[in-house]
Every structure is written in C-alpha cells, then in structure tokens.
Amino acid sequence: MSEDTGQMSDIQEIHFEGRDDFHCVELQKAHALINVTKAVAAGRKGSSSVKVSQVVSSLWDKTFLLGKQVAVDKTRTYLAYCIKLPKSAEGSTAVRVVDILTKSRTLIRGLRGVIRDLSFSFHVTRTMLAIVDEQGTLFVTEILRSSGDELNDLKIRKLLQVERSLADPSLSINRVIWCGYVPDDEKDDSSEDPAYLLFVTTDDKAELWNLLAIGEEYGNRSVHIDDVGEGYCSLDFDGKCTSASFSPDGSALAVASTSGLVKFFEVRIKDINTSYQPKVLHQWTPHEGKPVSYIEFIDNLLENNADESKEYWKFVIVGSCDNTEIKIYTCENWKCQQTISFLPEKDSGINKLQLNIGMDLTRKFIVLSDIQNSVLYVGDIGDKNGISVVSCLSVFHLLGQEEVNPGHFCRKYDGLDLV
C-alpha cells in the first residue's frame, strides 16, 4: 500500500509504507518526493511479484560503485562478472564470461585490483567486452566460439590493453561506456562505424576511442597510454567524470562529472586522433551544482536507425547524489520536465541512500536498486503531450528471493540490464 499526500502543492509526496510486497503509484506532478520508510527498508519478505533465477553464485563486496560488476550483452546470450582470484594467482581479480544457455565459459585474467567497470558493445555481429580495473588499465576483448570438437567452448581474443600511471588508484573513478548504436543493416565495417565508439574515464581524464582506427599490433601486447598515437582523443573536461551517454547515431556524447557540470560534445568519428578536440555543443549544471552520478539519453536502442528523419537525443535523464535525485530534461530548450527525489523518512533508521540505476534498451523503463536495503524501484517511461516522463513508479522488496523461476517481472520488464 502507498500513501499519496501533498496533492494541493507543487510536489507529490509519496509514502511507500511496506505493508504489502508490491506497491505502484501514478506520478501526477512534475516533482515527486519518495519518502523511504523503515517498513520499506526492512523488507520483511521478498515480493511475490519478483521471481529470481540464479545464474551464478559469487560474493561481491557491498560497496556502492558507479560502474558495473556484472554485465549482460544486448542479445542476453553472455554474462560477464567479476571474481576474486587466490592471492597466489596473477593479479587479484578476473572476469568470468558465461554463455547463459550452454553454460560454457572462459576467464579473462591479468586484471589488477577492483574491477571498476565492464560493458558489452552493441555491435550486431561481434561481441566485444570492455573492462577497466582499479589501476586504470583498459582491456577490450572479443568473445568467440570455438569450432570443431570444442564447439561450446568460449575463446577470448584481445583487441586492446592500455596501461596507465595513476597517482592514487583508490580515488579514481574509472568507467567504460560503449556507443549504444543499432545499425540499419549489416554492412561491412568502416572507419566511421559508431558501434566501435568507446568512452573511457580514469582519474581526471576523459577519452573518446574509435577502436576501428587502432592498429592490430596493439592487440598483441600491452601498451602505455603515452605510446598510443592513434584511435583516441582526450576530452576537455575539469573534474572527475562519472557517467556518459552517446546518441544512437554516434554524433553526440554527453559527459557528467562530480563537479555537477554536464557537457555535450560533437563527435566526428573520422577525425578521432590524438590531436582532435571535440567541439562542446552545450554545457550546464542540471542539479544546481550537485555532483552528477548518471546520465542517459532516452532513445530506443532496439529501433531501426534507417529513418534519417528521426530525431535523436531529444530527452535526457540525469541522476545526482548517488542517484537519489532524478531529473528529465528536454535537450531542445534544456528545461527540466520532471524531478523524482528519494529521501529517508525521519526516524526511518536509514543513514544514507545509494541507488544503482539503469534503463532497458527500449528506454521504456528505469530501474533503481537500493543496495543497502534490498529494494527495487521500477518506473514506466511514457509520452505525455510529447514529453518523456516517468508515468508511474513501483516498488518491490528483494529479500527472501530463493525461487528459481522466470516469472511475471522478467517477462514484463524484458531486457533490463541492472545489477
């Protein structure tokens, strides 16, 4: 059950009281304030509306990270996740890649320290995985199937390994983010294919990479960033970058930072090299200077991109303060269309809220997971008078989920990639 108050003001105040295992409320005003109560945080039992199917069993530190520890490719064929190796092994961590259907797997070694982020590409025919570790080392590999008698075995082909020298790796925010590009056909690759665009940030540096412009010789050895003379450029940015989003056609890149600043860059793929400096199209502080932790264009990544008249990056969703404040902006006039705030209710016993955030590939759903309190929020994104907004918000408890059964939740919110 939920209680909806504050209807006479400009803010819709919502209390999820936690007496039932599932709650849903329609968002009727431009600003929704979600009061997180002790009952919701306690989560006496898991929601019967959520069925969990265990794929792997692994332990991760209960730490809030901006990047991912687990990733699923766009076809939902491969799962990649971080694991810890014995101290005697080379490095301290590795990434396990598993074929979800056949259970065949492989291991990517040579990583150092905590894995900060990993992400699969959106390429139609190739499965590429980018990883960045605590030391800022960038790994890009291609997942291949073996032929012959070992048909079900997975193989790894290294495409790139770039080393860095970070002053203090523990303070660095390291991210890897692919261009979410869906081509209209399967033509041969060209040097301007947006599917090979990759955003990388380590420490106070942000880079734009075009992997097709990287020579094959780099795949045979590790190389220091200072010795890479092609295929990437640095972005003019002050502060530490936290998140980024490409437009589906690869023509624009939005980059967010801890300073609260967001910059939109023009991307000319054919010009990407060490001397190229992308033009800044726009910059602004969407959360009044508060640190920005998430940004994503609201563009359907499963639609065919052959329609040249279609407009991209009309709306953008931005998260701040560990994603406890969410805003939707229109990129035509940079006006805020909706704000959703999460706030611990007084005497709730919740010291701090930290929400992981993600969207499905159609951009019809936004999902936020409270990692400390095992609560999942799902918002339906719809069109209201030509404006993209979250029309309703549901909350589910995640405790007590022991059933291995793909249920209603998995079908309704098909394609979600959030851990």
Q: Averaged over 131-136, what is the pLDDT? A: 93
Same domain, 131 and 276: yes
Same domain, 227 and 105: yes
Q: Averaged over 316-336, what is the pLDDT? A: 95
> Does residue 188 surpass a pLDDT of 60?
no
pLDDT of the residue at 159? 93
**DSSP code of residue 125:** S
Is 91 inside a domain boundary?
A: yes
Same domain, 151 and 191: yes
Is 185 inside a domain boundary?
A: yes
pLDDT of the residue at 45? 58
CATH number at residue 151: 2.130.10.10
Instruction: Identify the bridge partners of residue 255 per DSSP, sorted by sequence position.
Output: 244, 263
**Averaged pLDDT of the chain:** 82
Give the predicted TM-score (pTM) of the model: 0.87
Same domain, 183 and 272: yes
Same domain, 177 and 231: yes
Is 314 inside a domain boundary?
A: no
Question: Looking at the chain, how many residues does it have?
Answer: 419
Instruction: Give me the phi and psi of 130, to 5 degrees please.
Output: -105, 140
Q: Which of 84-93, 113-122, 226-235 has the lowest mean pLDDT?
A: 84-93
- pLDDT confidence tier of residue 328, bands split at 50, 70 and 90: very high
pLDDT of the residue at 408? 30
Residue 164, CA distances (Å) to 12, 137, 158, 228, 335 in order = 48, 6, 18, 11, 39
> Does residue 336 surpass a pLDDT of 80?
yes
Residue 44, CA distances (Å) to 16, 40, 74, 280, 375 in order = 14, 8, 34, 49, 11
Q: Averaged over 236-264, what is the pLDDT? A: 92
Is 37 inside a domain boundary?
A: yes
pLDDT of the residue at 46? 62
Same domain, 90 and 209: yes
Max avg pLDDT among 113-127, 300-314, 388-402: 113-127
Same domain, 69 and 50: no
> Does residue 25 surpass a pLDDT of 80?
yes
Q: Which domain holds residue 46?
A: 1-55+322-419
Q: Averaged over 289-301, what is the pLDDT? A: 93
- pLDDT confidence tier of residue 36, bands split at 50, 70 and 90: confident
Is 168 inside a domain boundary?
A: yes
Same domain, 160 and 191: yes
Same domain, 278 and 404: no
Same domain, 161 and 278: yes
Is 60 inside a domain boundary?
A: no
Strands in 9-168 per DSSP E: 11-16, 22-26, 31-36, 70-72, 78-84, 93-99, 105-111, 115-120, 128-133, 138-145, 154-163
Cα angle: 86, vertex 88, 89; to 5 degrees: 70
Q: Averaged over 180-189, what is the pLDDT? A: 61
> Does residue 151 surpass a pLDDT of 80?
no
Is 307 inside a domain boundary?
A: no
> Does residue 125 surpass a pLDDT of 70?
yes
pLDDT tens for each residue of 354-381: 999 999 999 999 999 887 777 889 999 9
Same domain, 208 and 88: yes
For residue 363 the two structure tokens come to 């951009």
* H-helix or E-strand spanning residue 38: helix 38-42
For residue 385 the two structure tokens come to 């008078």
The whole-angstrom separation of Cα 375 and Cα 391 is 20
pLDDT of the residue at 401? 41
- What is the domain count for the chain? 2
Is 312 inside a domain boundary?
A: no
Same domain, 6 and 136: no
Q: Averaged over 298-317, what is the pLDDT? A: 78
